[in-house]
Amino acid sequence: MEHEPIKILFIDDNSTARILGEILRESHGFHVTMAKSISNAKYFLEYEPGKANFNYVIIDVTINGRHGGWELAKELAGDKDSPNYPHDKIIIYSARINEIHDEMKANYPNIRYLDKRNPNILSEALALLQR
């Protein structure tokens, strides 16, 4: 019996940064849905038939010049009543990890982190997605 592919919602407003999501989809067999904004991501999480129940959400902290990604990550991590939200499968994907990590780690210990500046980001991402 074949396993269902892992479903990822990848949220980043920067097309260059979304390349990681494309690589995960095209070279590693993940089912990746791309969102370019917080409202787009919320649509996929709440309304898009068949696309809810993501296994992981990978989200940039700064979207459209604001910390909307951070706010969405906190919302997702804290909404224990919603079956569509992967409470313990949220990955912050940012070049600003050092600025937010301590507060997020203290208040949301299940959130994981990927530093966009890491030259080994693909292998690190794959390791997080296999947990």
Q: Please report whether residue 2 resides in a domain.
A: no
Domain count, the chain: 1
Predicted pLDDT of residue 17: 84
Q: With a threshold of 0.75, does the pTM exceed it?
A: yes
Closest C-alpha to 32, from 41, 22, 40, 19:
22
74 domain-assigned: yes
Tens digit of pLDDT for each residue in 97-122? 777 657 667 777 778 888 888 889 88
Question: Range of 101's domain?
Answer: 7-129
CATH number at residue 107: 3.40.50.2300
What does the pLDDT read at residue 85? 56
Domain assignment present for residue 1? The answer is no
32 assigned to some structural domain: yes
Quick check: is 118 in a domain? yes
* Residue 11, in any domain of the structure: yes
In a domain, 46, yes or no: yes
Residues 37-57 pLDDT 10s: 999 998 888 876 555 578 899
The pLDDT of residue 10 = 92
Residue 47: C-alpha distances to residues 2, 76, 81 (Å): 27, 15, 16
Six-digit token string for 123: 């292998």
